[in-house]
Amino acid sequence: MQVPQIIPVTRGGARIGWESLLKALENAYFVAVDTEFSGLGDVKLLYGNCLSEKYSGLKQIVSNRAIFSVGFSIFSAADTCSAEESLKALKGQTTEFEENQKPPCKFYVTTFDFLFLPSDDFMISPSSATFLVRHGFDFARLFLDGIYYTRPTFNRDYQLLKTYKTCTLERKQSSDSRKKTKKRKKKDNSELFLELSTTEETKPDKSSLLSILPLGLLVHLGQTDIPIVFHNGLLDLAFLYSCFEDNLPESCEEFVKNLRQLLPHIYDTKCLSCDQDSEKETSLDTVYQLCVSWNQKQKSNDETFIQCWTPDNIPSRLETAPTPLFKGNPNFHEVENSYEKTIENSEIPSGWNGVNNVFAHSDHSAGYDAFCTGYIFATYLHSKGLSYLTKQRNSIYLSRFKSLSL
């Protein structure tokens, strides 16, 4: 079977999953994210004549529907030294890099698929449920093993998250101000008050934030300070914000402002795929296959192509069941279903799939789609070039001829 390794995370293994995800993000070059949700209902709500009308429809759709799963595919450069300058460019920190200083082409990839169950009522579209079932989604597993979450404003830990975000923003603004001023003036009373208000005594620590996840998920992603990659990401971002951060703001302008503060480095591979002079298909499946073909051609010509492997340093507690490994084929990532360890059942953490540690292959699981998105982005670093990608930083796809700038 030709699938990437996907680590499923369900209710009993939620804390292990969050710890492993955040650990993997520490050395990431970028992370690709995808969601599965309970449908859109009347999609005509998204067909407004102007941006404000589209956003009003988006708010109406997201307000009473739910996220079912979130996939994270973490790409870490195998050669960290060569990745530093290109990563600075992707983050908008520099525009000066040598043309012969190429982005990395070899990556260690770790992909998680978190299963979520809302604790409050939600709507589901029959067509969306049918689509998910046809692509292998297990609703019985969702209701039995999904990680519970409560929408932010009804969550008892909502105030803790707000306090943390406020303190973090104040610290960032204070830090930015110090960077712009070479010689610091003598601190006045207001500056002293700002620093006192953001000390470790008043700011919630990260361990307390870990315990309230998925609440505050976007805060954690933003603090990694790496590119966050989506494909056609407006709906993903709206659902992630509404379910795990806060109610969607009244205006699109405020939503954009809040996203920019939470996630300073966003890329949308659908934006990157669009060519205004072409009518080519830009769905995730199509673009992924095009990237696979491009890499196959590059390999046959003995030129640079994208290679992905499973990292050797996956925590042992995630290896308590048969774990498929990449053979090293960079194109379709052929899986070798081998397992040489003998594991007692008592060692299997509750919540991790004790059968084969991977979801059944689905062309549209959140984890698989996240991996495809990351593979496209890695390919575009070379096929389209770093300068082309950086021009599309913080742009979200709206239509072939229009994007939303964050």
Listing DSSP states for 236-262 in one string gives HHHHHHHHHT-PPPSSHHHHHHHHHHH
* Structure confidence at residue 96 (pLDDT): 67
- Do 104 and 192 lie in a common domain? no
Q: How many domains does the chain have?
A: 2
* Structure confidence at residue 341 (pLDDT): 28
- Do 84 and 190 lie in a common domain? no
Residue 2, domain member (yes or no): no
Residue 241, domain member (yes or no): yes
- Do 74 and 114 lie in a common domain? yes
Give the C-alpha separation, 103 to 87, whole Å.
8
For the chain, residues with pLDDT lower than 50 are 1-2, 182-184, 186-201, 315-361
φ/ψ of 311, rounded to 5, equals -65, 150
Q: Are 305 and 345 in contact (CB under 8 A)?
A: no
Give the C-alpha separation, 315 to 27, whole Å.
14
Residue 1, domain member (yes or no): no
- Do 94 and 194 lie in a common domain? no
- Do 201 and 268 lie in a common domain? no
* Structure confidence at residue 355 (pLDDT): 30
CATH of the domain at 281: 3.30.420.10
* Structure confidence at residue 354 (pLDDT): 28
Residue 316, domain member (yes or no): yes
* Structure confidence at residue 265 (pLDDT): 96
- Do 113 and 175 lie in a common domain? no
Domain boundary among 211, 246, 278: 211
Q: What is the DSSP letter of 204?
A: P
Alpha-helical (H) ranges within 283-330 are 284-300
Structural domain containing residue 181 = 158-211
Give the C-alpha separation, 228 to 224, whole Å.
9
